[in-house]
Amino acid sequence: MTKPLTGLMPACPTSLTAEGDADVASMKAVVRHMLDNGASGLVPLGGTGEYTSLAPETRVATIEACVEAASGAPVYAGVLSPGLGDALPAARSFAEAGADGLMLMIPYYVKLTQSGVIDYFHAVRDAVDLPIMFYDNPARSHFVVDTDTIATLAEDGTINSIKASNTDMATFDRLVRSVGPDFSVLSGQDTLFAQQVALGAVGGVLTSAVLVPGIWAQVQELAADGKLAEAIALQRSLEPLMAALFCEENPVPLRHALARIGLETGSSPVPLHPLSDGARKQVEKAISDLRASGVDLPRAA
């Protein structure tokens, strides 16, 4: 039986060279930064990892680098495909690269039904022998997956976890109550992490946790211990950072933030643009204010 996922599994950017290839050394450095500072695993090649912008060989090299640097910590590779024609070869290649699991998003072009979602996940499950995390993000997929659909996939063993990025808290509460105790519900929303832990999330796949996984681990511990007011207060101290990281399209601000702590990850492929001057100043102020508050962040050389 697959070990349940818990704790912070940051959604990390893909390190790229100037030519757009995988920067293996940089990717390994980002992974070690996260794991050495409180993360329990990682999720490369999700939206933050720009799966849809990368060539297949870049994706595979990235997973290989992450697995090597993770030294046994779980690596769930994102598969954000429009259909099985891309999803199955990608999933098979990630399995061969050593990924511990997949984070699978529903197809985002075809008009879906609930039964079609189930069929899609069953097809990937039957083709690739890896645990699957359901990536539920209706803002990106433009389709609302019923909690009954997720519960069905959990009950039949197709999925072992979910990154829940639906911001509707009533839906989240129904989700937690509809799955069994061995199923890992992970928050996918930085701004609601403490509240979702209080409702039953056992960890999170968070973008800002790439930078400060240790603080998010403290938020989780407080919320899980019933100290919700303290957890929310600590979470609110990260609001300037969260606002900065999403002031322009993710992961462009995150790349700049990582560069400010000495982790160069390259530039996002087009159609994303370089960070504007105003956004750059906002990111740099958020990092500076964190340091001034006592957060121990490395400095760029």
What is the spatial distance between Cα 252 and Cα 254, in angstroms, rounded to a whole number?
A: 5
Residue 133 CB contacts under 8 Å (≥ 6 apart), including other chains: 5, 43, 76, 101, 102, 103, 104, 159, 160, 161, 162, 163, 184, 186
**For the chain, how long is the longest CA-to-CA vector?**
53
- Measured between alpha carbons, how far is 133 from 78 in angstroms, rounded to an integer? 9
Name the 3-class secondary structure at 99. coil
CB-based contact 228:198 (threshold 8 Å): yes
Q: Hey, what are 219's tokens? A: 């938020």
Q: Are strands 76-79 and 43-44 parallel, antiparallel or unpaired?
A: unpaired
Residues in CB range of 156: below 8 A, 6 or more apart: none
Sequence-ordered list of residues with C-beta below 8 angstroms from that of 211, at least 6 positions apart, any chain: 241, 254, 257, 258, 261, 297
**Residues known to be catalytic:** 135, 163
Instruction: Please state, in angstroms and rounded to a whole number, the distance separating the CA atoms of residues 35 and 210.
Output: 9
Tokens of 102: 């997949």
- DSSP string across 181-194: TTSEEEE--GGGHH
Neighbour count for residue 85 (Cβ, 10 Å): 9
Which stretch of DSSP H or E encloses residue 76?
A: strand 76-79
Beta bridge partner(s), residue 102:
77, 132
